[in-house]
Amino acid sequence: MSPVSRGFRGRRPSSDKASRLPPGQYETRDFPVLSAGPTPRSPLDKWDLTLTSVAGKTARWTWDEFQKLPREKITTDIHCVTKWSKFDTQWEGVSIDTLLSEASSRGVVASPYVMAKCDGGYTTNVPLADLVNGKGWIAFIYDGAPLHPEHGGPARLLVPHLYFWKSAKWVRELRLMDQNVPGFWEDAGYHIYGDPWREQRYTGD
């Protein structure tokens, strides 16, 4: 299909690593930063996280309340649409399952889609099914330390089985939706779902 690039030999990953790399990805040991604008800074005493239902019911946690929720440790590979993957990243966060069950007692009814809304105006859409049953978290610790603002601190969404732009930095609200509405990058030509194993980088992939 693709023609051979004359003189290109390439640097193949070892077979155990190759099996962990989705198509078109390469391993990096750095942690590159990709953001469309300046890094927003949210003081923790002003920070809160809100879960909003279609009917407008909300569940809200201040930073202190959020810190008291049961947290989980996550070790996972992450895959950025700009081609790098990073293996065995270590996080701590509160699962979306936990947030949803807390919120349902406050009248927040689940819906099939979620829009993550962030400080700085960033948004991304994710089906709810991709956030529940241990697949999504609000992460606030990376590598044993508070998550650095460049990487989305104080807290970011973590949905590691999708391209990493779905793991929205600086997340402040999860808004439940009946319909799948594109977020920031999805509106700018990136794939509506973003499965790295199907190489769904851009619209129509």
Partner 1 sequence: MTAPAPTRIEWRLGTVVEVIPETSRTRTVVLDVPGWPGHRAGQHVDVRLTAEDGYQTERSYSIASAPEDRHLSLTVERLDEGEVSPYLTEELRKGDKLEIRGPIGGYFAWDISVGGPLLLIGGGSGIVPLMAMLRHREIALKARDRATRRQIPARLLYSSRRWDDIIYREELARLAENDNTLEVIHTLTREQPEVWNGYRRRIDRKMLNEVGWPAAENPRIFVCGPTPLVESAAATLVELGHQPTLVKTERFGPTGGTG
Report how far residue 19's alpha carbon sits from residue 118's, in angstroms, rounded to the nearest whole number: 33
Q: How far is the CB of 123 from partner 1 (least distance, A)?
A: 13
Say whether residue 203 binds partner 1 (CB under 8 A). Answer: yes
Output the CA–CA distances (angstroms, integers) from residue 182 to 11, 46, 63, in the order listed: 36, 28, 28
- By CB under 8 A, what part of segment 31-50 binds partner 1? 31-40
Q: Is there a contact between 45 and 64 (Cβ–Cβ < 8 Å)?
A: no
Report how far residue 96's alpha carbon sits from residue 128's, in angstroms, rounded to the nearest whole number: 9
CB nearer to partner 1: pick between 47 and 184: 184
Interface map 109-148 toward partner 1 (x if CB under 8 A):
-----------xx-----------------------x--x
Output the CA–CA distances (angstroms, integers) from residue 158 to 7, 17, 105, 116, 173, in the order listed: 40, 22, 24, 11, 14
Which DSSP category does 16 fall into? H
Q: How far is the CB of 172 from partner 1 (least distance, A)?
A: 15
Stretch that binds partner 1, among 45-53, 66-74, 161-169, 185-193 (CB under 8 A): 185-193
The pair of three-digit structure tokens given for residue 25, joined into one six-digit string:
């990805």
For residue 174, what is the enclosing H or E element? strand 171-177
Say whether residue 12 binds partner 1 (CB under 8 A). Answer: yes
Longest Cα–Cα distance of the chain, Å, equals 63
With CB under 8 A, what is the number of residues at the site for partner 1? Answer: 42
Say whether residue 14 binds partner 1 (CB under 8 A). Answer: no
Number of neighbouring beta carbons within 10 Å of residue 127: 15
Say whether residue 197 binds partner 1 (CB under 8 A). Answer: no
Q: Is there a contact between 137 and 94 (Cβ–Cβ < 8 Å)?
A: yes
Q: What are phi and psi of 134, to 5 degrees?
A: 75, 25
Stretch that binds partner 1, among 1-9, 44-52, 89-97, 100-108 (CB under 8 A): 1-9
- By CB under 8 A, what part of segment 57-96 binds partner 1? 82-83
CB nearer to partner 1: pick between 39 and 58: 39
Which residues make up the interface to partner 1 (CB under 8 A)? 2-12, 24, 26, 30-40, 82-83, 120-121, 145, 148, 150-151, 179, 184-185, 188-189, 201-205
